[in-house]
Structures are given as C-alpha cells and as structure tokens.
C-alpha cells in the first residue's frame, strides 16, 4: 500500500522467484485520512477497513508492505497515519525521490526498452525521471503537480523541468513511460477497453479541467520539449511500490 501525497493507492500482485509479476488488483486514490478523518481513532478505523479489503483478496498479513512516497513525507497527516500503522504492528517504509524513480523504472519499463527509454512519474508532491545508464539506474527529482499550492509560477517550473529533463541522455529518449495522477487522468480520456498501455496525446491536445491538471500538463509539456520524445506511454498496472516489492528478498 502506498501512502501518497493526496491519498492511498493499493496494489496486490503475484510474483515468482524470477521477479516476474502480474497484477491481481489495484485501487487508486482512496483518501481515508485526507477527507476529514481528523482523529487517530477515525484513521485507525479507516485503515482497518481498508486493510480488511486487501486481506479478502488473499494477501497474507506478513506480505503486506507499506510505503510512504517522498512527496507524502512532506504532508503533516502522513506522520499520523505512519504512527497508527506502526501501533498496529506494521513496518512502514519511507522512500526517497531517487528510490521512487528507480523502483518505478524497474516495475514499468519493459526489458526490451530498458536500454533506450526512460520513466517519468508525475506525482502531486514531486516528479521523478529515471533511466538506465551503464547498468545503473539514474534518477532526478522535479516539482510535482501541486507546485501551485506553494505559489510557484508556471513559467518557473516549466523552465526548471526543461533544464533538468535535458539530462536524460539522447540515446534514452525512444519512449517515455509515464505514471502519476495527472497522466492517469489524461489516459482515462482515450483508453481503449482494458489495455495495459495507453499512448498519450501531445500535451497541447488536452484541456485542463482544474489547476492540478493544468500544472501537470505544464510539466508534461516541459518534458516533451526538453527530450524531444513524441511517444509517452501510460502503464495502468505499474507503480513504484511494485518496484519496491520486486526489490525485496523473497
């Protein structure tokens, strides 16, 4: 389960000894503690209900892992949620933006694309870009889609994204695999059936429905222009938390 900057995402997977995996179930955007569950009792009751739904899917207690995203660690309520989980006997893993980018890459980018493509994860709290170089994963952190809450100007973020995204090596720009809340919203507009991968349109083809979407599109535009990549592919099954699970010694 991922405790994100704006809510919970949960993923149940089957994984074999070769770290090949398949999705069993996924739930995005459950925001128990972010919608007025003010007291610790409320949060604890909400978490128990949420966990019960995962146990019903066949997940053993020992195989339940909790990951707090780098963006969520900046949110005050996250500490309360983390403390409640610890009181319930669970280990809570804090991940850095660099780890998030690397975990996202290992879960999302297919092996046949690992040498010539990159991953971008546009979260609310930050954006991560990662790629493989000389057998090692590289990762950089950019502003997230809620940068407007800090009063940061669109142009400032756009320029920052263009500058940093230009660090992606030329030979790693074949396809941009993309994750995150805003890309999810974009892909939902033209997904065909239950396909795992949806190719996004160019940033200018979308109309922003709200401020977060407008900010995410601003980041997406900067990425597309800096890299010159014309194919961004949203993955409906992957998440950096799955990369975290793949990193565990089972």
Q: Mind listing the pLDDT tens digit of every residue in the chain (250 residues)? A: 888 766 778 899 999 988 889 999 888 766 555 555 567 787 788 788 878 888 888 888 888 999 998 888 887 778 888 888 899 899 999 999 999 999 999 999 999 999 999 999 999 889 999 999 998 999 999 999 999 999 999 999 999 999 999 999 999 999 999 999 999 999 999 999 999 999 999 999 999 999 999 999 999 999 999 999 999 999 999 999 999 999 987 5
Residues for the chain: how many in total? Answer: 250
Half-sphere exposure of 116 (CA within 13 A, CB side): 6
Rounded to two decimals, what is the model's pTM? Answer: 0.89
| H or E element at residue 96 | none
What is the rounded distance in angstroms from the CA atom of residue 92 to the CA atom of residue 105?
A: 22
Nearest to 64 by CA among 56, 75, 72, 74: 56
Place of tokens 């007291």: 39
What is the rounded distance in angstroms from the CA atom of residue 110 to the CA atom of residue 31?
A: 30
What is the rounded distance in angstroms from the CA atom of residue 249 to the CA atom of residue 49?
A: 29
**Six-digit token pair at 220?**
């997406």
Would you call 235 helix, strand, or coil by DSSP? strand
Are 195 and 139 contacting, i.e. CB atoms less than 8 angstroms apart?
A: no
| H or E element at residue 161 | helix 154-165
């Amino acid at each position: 389960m991922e405790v994100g900057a704006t809510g919970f995402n949960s993923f149940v997977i089957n994984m074999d000894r070769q770290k090949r995996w398949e999705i069993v179930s996924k739930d995005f955007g459950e925001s128990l503690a972010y919608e007025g569950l003010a007291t610790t009792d409320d949060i604890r009751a909400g978490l128990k209900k949420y966990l019960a739904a995962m146990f019903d899917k066949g997940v053993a207690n020992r195989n339940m892992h909790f990951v707090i995203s780098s963006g969520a660690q900046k949110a005050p309520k996250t500490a309360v949620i983390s403390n409640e989980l610890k009181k319930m006997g669970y280990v809570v893993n804090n991940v850095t933006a660099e780890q998030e980018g690397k975990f996202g890459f290992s879960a999302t980018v297919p092996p046949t694309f690992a040498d010539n493509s990159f991953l971008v994860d546009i979260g609310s709290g930050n954006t991560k870009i990662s790629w493989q170089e000389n057998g090692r994963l590289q990762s950089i952190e950019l502003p997230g889609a809620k940068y407007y809450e800090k009063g940061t100007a669109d142009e400032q973020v756009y320029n920052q994204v263009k500058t940093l995204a230009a660090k992606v090596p030329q030979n790693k720009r074949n396809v941009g695999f993309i994750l995150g809340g805003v890309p999810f919203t974009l892909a939902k507009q033209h997904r065909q059936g239950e396909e795992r991968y949806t190719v996004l349109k160019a940033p200018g083809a979308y109309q922003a429905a709200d401020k977060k979407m407008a900010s995410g599109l601003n980041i997406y535009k900067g990425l597309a222009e800096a890299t010159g990549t014309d194919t961004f592919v949203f993955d409906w099954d992957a998440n950096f938390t799955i990369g975290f699970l793949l990193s565990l010694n089972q």
